[in-house]
Amino acid sequence: MTTDIPEEQVRAAVEGVALEVLAEGGVYAPPVDAMLLAGRLGMMVARDGVSQTRARFVRLNGDDDGGTILLAEEPRPERRHWAVAHEIGESYAYRVFEELGLHTVDAAPAAREAVANRLAGCLLLPRDWLMRDGAALDWDLLELKARYATASHEMIGRRMLEMPPPLIITLADHGRQQWRRSNRYLRAPAMTQAETDAWQAAHRQGAATRCERGELPEGVEDVRAWPIHEPQWKREIVRTELSEGW
């Protein structure tokens, strides 16, 4: 957004505005139904048929109405919720800029888009809720997905990286690593043998795997892998929890 504002301040502003918007929509527990939230905020959601974008915000009756989110045809419910949450984020991005002491009109389109994306993630997976439920559920991805049903497995994994403890998250599709990121390292190190073994076991067996304590390398507290398998698609997500002082 701007290099003059610390990331911690930006994060706090986005998370705070997301909680405000959820409260205004009367949503206080997961899962967050983005369509229901939009309606409670005075926005209509309508189908847009085949479109180049997943959703777009329009005002069909001038500035007097709350606006309409036109939603493209999309078979995956998580993508529909994300698209609507993104448009809600676009509508409320100005609050984040105000919180940061910035003028919305002066913000570059890329900055507004970045705020809308972050707000969407925070609306579907509020930090305070996810921190509480993550601790209660031992950060089990599948159990968290059951509770936050409108968010994708990948989104939950990415949100884990935005909060403690220190982690590495790895996502693989069809047996090939797609991305690997850490909230400790600027560049995540290569996968350890323990991570590779857990990932390949989840890929082969189609079941969640967890390394035994004796298998973990120094500096690693836990390694788990979850299969996200469909008839024509095999995805795995690996969560590596790092030691605090390592």
Residues 6+ away with beta carbon under 8 Å from 48: 55, 56, 70, 71, 72, 73
Alpha carbon of residue 148 to chain centroid: 11
What the block records as the tokens of 227 is: 């299969």
CATH architecture of 166-246: 2-Layer Sandwich (3.30)
Residues 6+ away with beta carbon under 8 Å from 180: 168, 169, 170, 171, 188, 191
For the chain, what percent of residues have pLDDT higher than 90? 74
What the block records as the tokens of 20 is: 């405000």
Span 166-174, mean pLDDT? 97
Alpha-carbon distance of 132 to 140, in angstroms, equals 13
pLDDT tens for each residue of 69-112: 777 777 789 998 998 999 899 899 999 999 999 887 667 788 88
From edge to edge, which strands make up the β-sheet containing 44-49?
A: 44-49, 68-72, 55-58
Q: Could you state, in order of their start, the residue ranges of all structural domains in the chain? A: 7-129, 166-246
**H-run or E-run covering 35:** helix 34-40
- Residue whose structure tokens are 């968010």: 151
Compute the Cα dihedral for 16, 186, 106, 58 and give only its sign. Answer: negative
Short-list 139, 200, 144, 133, CA closest to 166: 139
Q: Where are the alpha helices (DSSP H) in 46-126?
A: 77-99, 109-124
Q: CATH: 3.40.50.12160, 1.10.3720.10, 3.40.50.150, 1.10.10.2910. Which one for 7-129?
A: 1.10.10.2910
Alpha-carbon distance of 80 to 98, in angstroms, equals 28
Span 175-182, mean pLDDT? 97
What pLDDT score does 71 carry?
Answer: 74
Using DSSP bridges, classify how beta strands 44-49 and 68-72 pair: parallel, antiparallel or unpaired. Answer: parallel
Alpha-carbon distance of 97 to 64, in angstroms, equals 23
Compute the Cα dihedral for 163, 92, 78, 133 and give only its sign. Answer: positive
What the block records as the tokens of 201 is: 């076991």
**Topology match between the domains 7-129 and 166-246:** no
pLDDT tens for each residue of 17-75: 999 999 999 999 999 999 999 999 988 887 765 555 666 565 555 555 567 777 777 77
pTM here? 0.89
Q: Tell me if 127 sits within 8 A of 133, measured CB to CB.
A: no
Question: Which of the four pLDDT bands, split at 50, 70 and 90, describes residue 2?
Answer: low
pLDDT tens for each residue of 204-223: 999 999 999 999 999 999 99
